Amino acid sequence: MTTDGGDLTVTNSAAMIGSYGMSAHIDDNDSIYVTDDTPNAEPRYRVRFYFDPNSIDMNNGNTHEIFLGYAGTSTEVLKLEFRRSSNQYQIQAGIRRDNNNWQNGGWFTISDAPHYIEMDWKASTAPGANNGYLTLWIDGVQQSNQTGVDNDTRRIDRARLGAVDDIDTNTRDTYYFDAFESRRITYIGPAASPLVVGGRAAGEPSGQEQIAAITTLPTVAIGAGMQLIESDSANVVRTSGWVLYNVPDGASGGGYLVNTQSSDSLTLTFAGPSVEVGYAQNQAFGPFIVEIDGVPLRFVEGTSDTNFTFDHRVQIDNLADTTHTLRIVPQSAVIAIDFFVINPPVLAQPTATITPSATVSLTPLVEPIVTQTTAPTLAPTAPPTPSQEPTSPPTNTSTATATATLTETPMLTETPTETSTATETSTEIPTATLPAPDTEVPPEPEGEGDAEETAPPVEGEQTAYTGFGLKIRHK
């Protein structure tokens, strides 16, 4: 660390993330900076830090480096310049080629406020391959991408942050740095502290408390009957590297999860035939895989050519209507997961099963008694006029009256799915009191047949069933 007699300090006033940041007070043209020597001949190097111009006094045209990456200890191969132009603050990223010329990516205006700046530097893979590059992001938005660079002999072994070099006489006052982080491969993104519960200063609200303080939270459209699960829900099991963010605005429920390790994963157990995963896209994000029950089913690309956008979705359906385990697996990249939408299982509706356990027999509790309203007469009350006289007139005329009683018990057997109309016809045989053996039975009158009575049918009943603040680490 080079402080120039205390001009480079750690203070609360410089904090942009957490409770402390680095304050760089420029009162002469001497360089003041911190150094990171953990990189070791890196062919690829990523760095992110926060920077606040803090209304520093600069003349238009004043320019100096606020970050430098070195091959060895002194050869500059990566730089970020800061200047004043047209009364505006601007930054520019540059990559050094093998011929020692710099390839710069253009100037980009930043406001007089905190910003997080990220760069991804890569050496060309071989002589003549010319595939080195340098990409610059400001607040998560890609600003420049310099490609086709011949720099295969370059490596990064050292990094410096602060008022590093080339300070102008008319540049004076103080600006701030915070949350420096570097790594080899994966996108870094915004710092975690604004929404991490652990490690915050006393009285500082947690991420969930910050989200709860927002009066209007973004919502996502889901279908009727669907269940929305936020990515930071207790239902979602996550590895230790996931961080909850609430900037930029637009996430469902006000927050979203970003992984900080390529080995991170999210797991959700759900029941139902389909599921959706809501995620954010950005130029710096990469792909991930969605597994269901251990089987990779979707490869999702999180990179886009536009700025940070939310409510991108991938849907997996035609699943068995049962319990499943969903797993989100980043593919050596940083991703942003916002929410899940579950289609709950369809509950089976009860159906009537018309299957009687036994044959239903309809047996009247009281046997029906069929009584003729007019008793049959075996001998006519009015004598007929016979065709001829009987040879032997009767000595006795019997007027026996028979009362017919049916003692039948109709047994009606039904199955519930049939409609049966039972009609019984009984031929009544009356029982009469016969004369004594020595009494002559009068002959039947001619022209008259036996008196037959047909009993009215007995209708069967039918039954229906319805049945510091500044952090320097290298991964």
Cα-Cα end-to-end distance for the chain: 21
Q: How confident is the model at residue 218 (pLDDT cuts 50, 70, 90)?
A: low
Task: Compute the average pLDDT of residues 277-303.
Answer: 90
Contact present, 1 and 36 (Cβ < 8 Å): no
Computed over every residue of the chain, the mean pLDDT equals 76
Q: What type of residue sits at position 318? A: N
Query: What would the pLDDT profile of 119-144 be if each residue is shown by its tens digit?
Result: 999 999 999 999 999 999 998 889 99
What is the average per-residue pLDDT within 212-236? 74
Cα separation, 48 vs 183, in Å, equals 9
Q: What's the alpha-carbon Rg for the chain, to the nearest Å?
A: 49
Locate 418 and state its tokens: 């049939």
Closest CA to 377 of 440, 447, 444, 456: 444
- The answer to pTM > 0.75 is no
CATH number for region 8-185: 2.60.120.200
Q: Please, which pLDDT band fits residue 303 given cuts at 50, 70 and 90?
A: confident
pLDDT band at 219 (very low <50, low <70, confident <90, very high): low
**Which residues share a beta bridge with 177?**
22, 51
- Position with higher pLDDT, 408 vs 60: 60
Q: pLDDT tens, 82-93?
A: 999 999 999 999
Residue 26: closest CA among 48, 6, 50: 6
Q: Which two tokens stand for residue 435?
A: 């004369």
Neighbours of 431 (CB within 10 A): 11
pLDDT digits (tens, 9 = 90+) for 418-466: 444 444 444 444 444 444 444 444 454 444 444 444 444 444 444 333 3
CA atoms of 107 and 86, how far apart (whole Å)? 12
Nearest to 303 by CA among 286, 279, 280, 278: 286
pLDDT tens profile 28-52? 999 999 999 999 999 999 999 999 9
Q: Which residue, 163, 141, 138, 122, is CA-closest to 48? A: 138
For the chain, domain boundaries: 8-185, 195-343
| Domain 8-185 shares a fold with domain 195-343 | yes
Res 333: pLDDT: 76
- The residues near 199 (Cβ < 8 Å, ≥ 6 apart) are 18, 193
Q: According to CATH, what is the number of the domain 195-343?
A: 2.60.120.260
- Compute the 3-state secondary structure of the chain and give helix, strand, coil in percent, each to the nearest 5: 5, 40, 60
Beta-strand ranges (E) seen in 111-156 are 115-122, 132-138, 141-149
pLDDT of residue 470: 52
